[in-house]
A and B are shown apart, each in its own frame.
Chain A
Amino acid sequence: MPLALKTYSTVAEAGSALKAADARYLGGGTLVVRAANEGDLSFSTYVRSTDPLLSAIMVEAGVVTVGAGVTMAAVARHPELTAIASAAKAVGGPAVRNMATVGGNLFAAAPYGDFAVALLALDATVHTTAGYLGIDEFLAGRDSSDAVVASVSFAVPAAGKFRFLKAARIKPKGVSIVSIAAVIETDAGGKVTSARIALGCMADRPIRAKGAEKALIGAMLTEDGVAKAVAAVGEGTSPITDAIASAWYRSEVLPVHFRRLLLA
């Protein structure tokens, strides 16, 4: 089937064009062109936008708005985003990071989408042509969405509050066995006052570890203190099975990596 590329100067126009049944939004191409190369016949039109807002990173009063077309490489090198650079660097090799976008990562099926795991832990807001959505709601409904993501915004975490871990078999870079992102606040005595934990590869898309979040409140980040949260981290998960790891294996190693992340 012939493919065609349609380019629009604004996100809104691209959003209208994406309503067509045969259209797919083209960000960096690492998901959509790959699908076309693999013979995906469910679309025949690439829609993209050259709107400059898509490639902008704006930081205002501690809240950052990252355009959906911003690449992983651009996030990783941005001086005000050093706290979350580890999550952007976890994606792909250098060429993929020069292409893969923040918006695209929100749609990446497991085992991909490590940066979206970070965005889930950061409680990001997703700005689409259909309005603003919390990231939990956005991820739950992403398969049926025909809106274009324009940007995501989130409060930049203070140094040390954001934790990220990606376990892979290949060094230095490989597909995730599991990725974990967490934003954890503690009081002066070291007790956890709030925790938001997101898991990659433990379902078809990033999910929260709500049982572990609850178990962490009031706990100290010590071997004994985190034991209940570690025991609860697998609750409600349904890991994927792929060539990298089986669902069983992912379930077995998740608590190990989660404990390491908490005690790091």
Chain B
Amino acid sequence: MAKVPVQFTLNGEEKAEFVDSGATLLKVVRDKLGDTSPKSGCNQGTCGACSVLVDGELRLSCLTLAETCEGAHIVTTGGLAKDGVLHPLQRAFMDEFAAQCGFCTPGMIMAAKALLDRTPDPSRDEVVEALSGNICRCTGYEPIIRAVLTAARANSQNAA
């Protein structure tokens, strides 16, 4: 299988790899770069567990070819905590008990981050809409929605 060079940043770190042509971003991030925070769920673009930010936009890494991310800035849940301090979204997900099995959580957090980066003070409906591409089979969604709203409040208090 032909290998092709790809360079991008992953959570702020420069990465340069030879990857299989046609390999998905999910496979490269998990198997080559060792960041297993994006999950391989359905591989069909249905569950949202593989969600990452590519240049600030929410994308499904299972349906994105790594080669198309040349020069891009990729952010995953694995890169959110800084110096051992959790991101407000991670903290809120813990406080609100928004994770049970936890498989959907990294995707949920990325979808929530994509929302809060553009809409720091979202309505409940905006949160529901922002999470509409992510499936959770444990929580019934309510704790997740609460967590995102809590994180938004925490952010606004920090900014004040």
A binding-site residues for B, Cβ under 8 Å: 2-5, 7, 26, 28-30, 33-34, 36-38, 46, 48, 73, 92-96, 98-99, 172-173
Contacts and interface: CB of A to CB of B under 8 A. Distances in A.
A34 B130 CA distance: 22
B48 interface: yes
Nearest to B4: A5
Contacts of A28: 63
A139 B115 CA distance: 35
Contacts of A29: 63-65, 68
Most buried by B among A2, A4, A29: A29
Given A93-B132, A94-B133, A95-B133, A37 B63 contact: yes
A37 B62 contact: yes
Contact of B67 (A5, A37, A38): A5
A93 B44 contact: no
A2 B64 contact: no
A99 B59 contact: yes
Contacts of B44: 34, 37-38
Contact of A46 (B22, B60, B111): B22
Contacts of A2: 1-2, 20-22
6 contacts: A5-B21, A5-B22, A93-B133, A98-B57, A99-B59, A99-B60
Contacts of A99: 45, 59-60, 63-64
A95 B59 contact: yes
Contacts of A92: 45, 133
Given A4-B21, A34-B44, A93-B48, A98 B67 contact: no
Identify the 10 closest CB pairs spanning chains A and B, nearest first. A93-B133, A3-B22, A173-B132, A37-B43, A2-B1, A29-B63, A4-B21, A33-B63, A95-B58, A93-B132
A204 B131 CA distance: 29
Contact of A33 (B57, B65, B131): B65
Nearest to B20: A2
B51 interface: yes
Contacts of A36: 22
A38 B43 CA distance: 8
B134 interface: yes
Most buried by B among A26, A38, A94, A95: A95
Interface residues of B, number: 32
Contacts of A4: 2, 21-22
Given A2-B1, A38-B44, A173-B132, A94 B114 contact: yes
Contacts of B24: 33, 37
Contact of B130 (A3, A26, A94): A94
Interface in B1-23: 1-2, 4, 20-22
A94 B1 CA distance: 33
A3 B23 CA distance: 8
B128 interface: yes
A5 B60 contact: no
Contacts of A26: 65
Given A37-B43, A37-B44, A93 B22 contact: no
B83 interface: no
A96 B133 contact: yes
A34 B63 contact: yes
B63 A93 contact: no
A26 B22 CA distance: 11
Contacts of B63: 28-30, 33-34, 37, 99
A38 B45 CA distance: 11
A109 B58 CA distance: 24
B31 interface: no
Contacts of B111: 93-95
B129 interface: yes
B127 to A, nearest CB: 11
Contacts of A48: 68
